[in-house]
Chains A and B, each alone.
Chain A
Amino acid sequence: MALTRAQVEGIAHLARLELDPAEVPQYEQSLSRIVDFIGELERASTTGVAPMAHPLAGLVQRLRADEITEQDDHARYQRNAPEVVSGLYLVPKVIE
């Protein structure tokens, strides 16, 4: 199944990726190839087979005691941040 240019652009937008217009055909082509390839799954007979989200069957979520184990270390954590003012991470204005 071939993906259209519009589909590729829609997916890129959803994934917050900006594609150079010149690159779009390349993604269009390779993603179409991939979609064809994974489309093969359609032929597998999976009636009555439950999806398997996790490779080890029967394991269940472990619970953590409700204890405070983390101390404030924001100055260190924010050394990786591109833009911080007064302890806040800065982004362009968010309009609501």
Chain B
Amino acid sequence: MTDHRTVTQLAAALRARKVSSVELVRACLARIEASQPALNAFITITADQALEQAEAADRDLAAGRGGPLAGVPIGHKDLFCTAGVRTTCGSRMLENFVAPYDATVVARLKAAGAVMLGKLNMDEFAMGSSNETSYFGPVRNPWKTDLVPGGSSGGSAAAVAARLLPAATATDTGGSIRQPAAFCGVTGIKPTYGRVSRYGMIAFASSLDQGGVIAQTAEDCARLLRSMAGFDPRDSTSVDIPVPDYLAGLDAPLAGVRIGLLKEFFDTGLDAGYERRVREALAVFERLGARLCELSLPNIPRSVPAYYVVAPAECSSNLARFDGVRFGHRCRNPRDLIDLYKRSRSEGFGVEVKRRIMTGTYVLSAGYYDDYYLKAQRVRRLVAGDFERAFAEVDLLMGPTTPTAAFALGAKSADPITMYLNDIYTISANLAGLPAMSVPCGFVDGLPAGLQIIGPHFAEQRLLHAAHCFQLETDWHAHVPERCA
């Protein structure tokens, strides 16, 4: 039986002892097992540990103890390190890697009482927009299994969309939370850079990566984020600003909120049907009393090329530690040191990861650094400046999350640029470190479309508030794929 309840509802039911965590976890595990052949959302399922944690949560709840998420089943994207449970990053390189520690996000959610059911599939090292680069096979879109779920957090989005779990962690470097959330018809938030600790998140591009949540509703996102976010002394880029109660004031009226529509997001390659859904959603906000205006941010179109310099540059360096010496895949019978490095890395990494490592190596190398890396970082400042000016005039920016709804498996894997352009609307928020969400806003030919909401630094509450108000007016987030209903 599919369970359509949200985290908010489940947490309340658990606390009221109307349901036990063990029951919930057993039901989720059964659905997960059953879904694997069709969806492949999980890389590792941790049934035994989950049941142990669920029993502990039930004991806590019975004793009137337990954190805000006590007993709530969740999943972690498989790039959050989990002590004692393998963390693969969707790569052959880490097929057998067992981290000796918990990522801060994992530890915090555990401390809040959440029960981990397993590790979710993803594009290899989070490099991809379709989940096709996973060494463990692609995840399929629950709405139509010959379509991609988006990426890189495809497993997280598909699992929530198929109601295998009420919520999952995810990460977003260039759209990896928002794009799959849009493709799968679920709600996802990428917080401000520095809001959620990166400690224990296996790095793709350190200045862009940010952990977040995919759930059914904005309210659930707020609930999880409240437990995940906050200063971490182990992450130098973590920001020491108190975490507000994201649940407070979610119901406040939206009247007077100024919403900017990014002209550039409606210009380039946006599917006409998708655009209609987004415009309809904007009309809902208008009806709620928000004021809309159009804005132009001229440097936004340069975000994609800038991103495809900065992200590969950082990735080429971040992935140098995978050398077959201390952990990870090692080739058989290396002839010498160079052979050890080259074969271990070539066997361990897939094509897209190698391509990005090479792109990054190239843009940082002597003679190209100024023209590519430095230039991209200058453009990045221009992009950030555009946003800064926009947020002097509006409270939030809105537009489509993706140019089209989910596409077919294999449709874009031949040409990297076609694939990269999928992130055309999401990348700029990462370059500027801004919080951004994707909220279900209807269907295009039976496939979900996503409304993207971007705010200024540390305005998560503002985003969640707007999204929640929208979800009180609409039920797009409550739609479930027929095969999962």
Contacts and interface: CB of A to CB of B under 8 A. Distances in A.
Question: Is any CB of A less than 8 Å from a CB of B in the complex?
Answer: yes
A11 B355 CA distance: 10
Contacts of B327: 80-81
A71 interface: no
Given A56-B457, A76-B100, A33 B417 contact: yes
Interface stretch (B15-23, B163-171, B247-255, B369-377): B369-377
A53 B377 contact: yes
Given A17-B345, A33-B416, A77-B100, A92 B337 contact: yes
Contacts of A94: 337
Contact of A31 (B302, B320, B358): B358
Interface residues of A, number: 53
A92 B375 contact: no
Contact of A44 (B302, B339, B359): B302
Interface residues of B, number: 74
B233 interface: yes
Contacts of B194: 55-56, 59
B190 to A, nearest CB: 12
A22 interface: no
B183 interface: no
Given A64-B233, A92-B340, A18 B381 contact: no
Interface string A24-62: 001100110111011111101010011111111101011
A50 B381 contact: yes
Contacts of A64: 233
A91 B325 contact: yes
Nearest to B327: A80
Contacts of B363: 38
A61 B238 CA distance: 10
A16 B338 contact: yes
A92 B377 CA distance: 39
B337 A91 contact: yes
B381 A52 contact: yes
A16 B378 contact: no
A3 to B, nearest CB: 8
Nearest to B388: A57
Contact of A16 (B299, B323, B371, B376): B323
A61 B236 contact: yes
B89 to A, nearest CB: 13
- Which of A16, A33, A53: most chain B CB closer than 10 A? A16
Contact of A83 (B323, B330, B345, B457): B330
B233 to A, nearest CB: 7
A19 interface: yes
Contacts of B376: 38, 41
Given A11-B365, A18-B342, A46 B337 contact: no
A42 B60 CA distance: 60
Interface in B317-337: 320, 323-328, 330, 334-337
B407 interface: no
- Which of A26, A61, A79, A82: most chain B CB closer than 10 A? A82
B180 interface: no
Contacts of B371: 42
Interface stretch (B104-112, B143-151, B264-272, B305-313): B305-313
A27 B355 contact: yes
A14 interface: yes
A15 interface: yes
Interface of A: 3, 8, 11-12, 14-19, 23, 26-27, 30-31, 33-35, 37-42, 44, 46, 49-57, 59, 61-62, 64, 73, 76-83, 89, 91-94
Given A17-B358, A57-B384, A80-B100, 13 more contacts: A3-B362, A11-B361, A11-B362, A15-B357, A16-B338, A18-B343, A31-B358, A34-B416, A41-B305, A64-B233, A80-B97, A83-B330, A89-B326
15 contacts: A15-B320, A18-B343, A19-B346, A27-B358, A31-B362, A33-B416, A33-B417, A35-B362, A38-B306, A41-B306, A44-B375, A61-B236, A79-B98, A91-B325, A92-B335
Interface of B: 96-98, 100, 192-194, 207-208, 233, 236-237, 239-240, 299, 302, 304-306, 308-309, 316, 320, 323-328, 330, 334-343, 345-346, 349, 351, 354-355, 357-359, 361-363, 365, 371-372, 374-382, 384, 415-417, 420, 430-433, 457
